[in-house]
Amino acid sequence: MNEPAVIIRLDSTCAGYQPGETLSGEYRLQSVDRDELSAIEVSVLWYTEGKGDEDLAVHEFWRRDVAGGDPIDPRRPERFSTTLPPSPLSYDGQIVKIRWCVRVRAFLTRGKELVGQKVFRLGNVPPVRAERTSKAAARAARGRSLPPGEGRAEGEPSEAEGRGEGETRADEPSPSKAARSAAPGKTADSGPGEKTSPTRIAP
């Protein structure tokens, strides 16, 4: 037996709608008996995702209540339809996103709830892309390297930061060579185990 669930289907096969168009579809409940159901709420709404507090606003709302005399048959699909508003349009930003959806909430007699939703897009606002991607591509096409710090994603280490401890570049002297060159009593030509006497200057 399937788990209790809310199934929502939109009439349009496309995921996107334009302002002023009609959004229509149907919903039904799966594996829920009639005597278990006390009320159903259907909402067409938008909400935000991202940083900060979530915003939410309901565009259209319907409620059917068994106690109010509304007949509800969970096995039979129920229709909904609404005209979509001019705004806000669906938006995929780097900081905040705006989502539109149809949300169905079923209240059961045991005090439980079933919630299902179907997301759709309103409008044709293109997603926001990071500016650094276009900058890096343009400089690479011109054969120039990026200035230090530009074109790196946030938190990405620089070339110097990306080298592990003790690692050096090919054009940098190794710490051991630099130490032998600077250590008193040794020269850069001294091999392993060789000792040299310090140079004395006659008074």
> Are 160 and 149 spatial neighbours (Cβ–Cβ below 8 Å)?
no
- DSSP code of 139? H
State residue 191's pLDDT score: 46
Closest CA to 7 of 108, 107, 106: 106
Q: For residues 166 and 175, give the distance between their C-alpha atoms in angstroms, rounded to a whole number.
A: 8
**Residue 196 covered by a domain:** no
Q: What is the mean pLDDT of residues 32-45?
A: 94
37-61 in b/e burial notation, b at 16+ Cβ within 10 A? bebbbbbbbbbbeeeeeeeeeeebe
Rounded to 5 degrees, what angle do the CA atoms 114, 58, 72 make? 40
CB atoms within 10 A of CB 104: 22
* Higher-pLDDT residue of 194, 116: 116
State residue 10's pLDDT score: 97
Of the listed ranges 10-14, 15-19, 173-177, the least confidently predicted one is: 173-177
State residue 201's pLDDT score: 45
**Residue 115 covered by a domain:** yes
Q: What is the mean pLDDT of residues 75-91?
A: 96
190 pLDDT band (50/70/90 cuts)?
A: very low
Q: Alpha carbon of 6 to those of 95, 96, 115, 140: distances in Å? A: 31, 28, 6, 50
Closest CA to 106 of 29, 193, 35: 29
- Structural domain total, the chain: 1
Q: For residues 153 and 130, give the distance between their C-alpha atoms in angstroms, rounded to a whole number.
A: 9
**Residue 56 covered by a domain:** yes
Q: For residues 141 and 157, give the distance between their C-alpha atoms in angstroms, rounded to a whole number.
A: 23
Q: What is the mean pLDDT of residues 76-86?
A: 97
State residue 148's pLDDT score: 53
**Residue 103 covered by a domain:** yes
State residue 194's pLDDT score: 46
**Residue 44 covered by a domain:** yes
Q: Name the CA dihedral angle for 62, 67, 73, 77, rounded to a multiple of 10 degrees.
A: 0
With 70 as the cut, is the pLDDT of residue 72 above it? yes
75 pLDDT band (50/70/90 cuts)?
A: confident
**Residue 162 covered by a domain:** no
State residue 183's pLDDT score: 43
Residue 41: which CATH number?
2.60.40.640
**Residue 46 covered by a domain:** yes
Q: What is the mean pLDDT of residues 75-97?
A: 95
Of the listed ranges 24-38, 70-84, 90-104, 153-167, the least confidently predicted one is: 153-167
Domain limits for position 66: 5-122
Q: For residues 89 and 123, give the distance between their C-alpha atoms in angstroms, rounded to a whole number.
A: 5
> Are 187 and 199 spatial neighbours (Cβ–Cβ below 8 Å)?
no
Secondary structure class of 82 (helix, strand, coil) = strand
**Residue 71 covered by a domain:** yes
With 60 as the cut, is the pLDDT of residue 127 above it? yes
